Structure 1
Amino acid sequence: MNSLLFLNKQEMNELTGRKQKKRQVEQLIQLQLPFTLDAFGWPKVLRKTIETELGAGDSCQIKRGGATLSDDELYTGQ
């Protein structure tokens, strides 16, 4: 997975306040942020999601392009 497309490990730790993958998943569900899991079970969040959900807008430094996953590739916890 392209690291420019998804938040990296440090950014995921900062976003969720958690380091363990299970705890990150729990936090993402609580925050109602869509994510997908990689082959090792780690949650992956698109940068575009953070920009959209948290209202970062065009001036956000984390904006580096975007991609869309189909609805069945995203897990929303609902």
Structure 2
Amino acid sequence: MNTFLSKSEIVELTGRKQRQKQIEQLAAMHIVFTIDAFGWPKVLRKTLESELGAVNSSSTRRNTFLNDDELFLG
């Protein structure tokens, strides 16, 4: 399993195919992401799983929110 979601998984998650629209949707969903060298959003699989409640026995779920200065809006 890859560390990051694939492009097709991000399309499925956001419902968007264009990278700028994906970025906007991820920000609206409060999902933590970064931007790769080509301008595409990258989402850590582990972060998304914990945000959506897929918790394993060795971790605990916590709410994570970005401060306004941490939020990438393009």
TM-score by length of 2: 0.73
> Whose radius of gyration is greater, 1 or 2?
2
Identity %: 57
Unaligned runs of at least 5 residues, structure 1: 59-74
Alignment of 1:61-76 (within 5 A): 76=71
TM-score by length of 1: 0.70
Letter in 2 for 1:26: E
8 Å contact kept, 1:32–1:77: no
1:43 corresponding residue in structure 2: 41
- Post-superposition, which runs of at least 4 consecutive aligned residues in structure 1 deviate over 6 A? none
1:31 corresponding residue in structure 2: 29
Letter in 1 for 2:3: L
Identify which of structures 1 and 2 has the higher relative contact order when contacts are C-alpha pairs closer than 8 Å and 6+ apart.
1
Deviation per residue, 1:24-52 (Å, 9 max, x gap): 00000000111000000000000011111
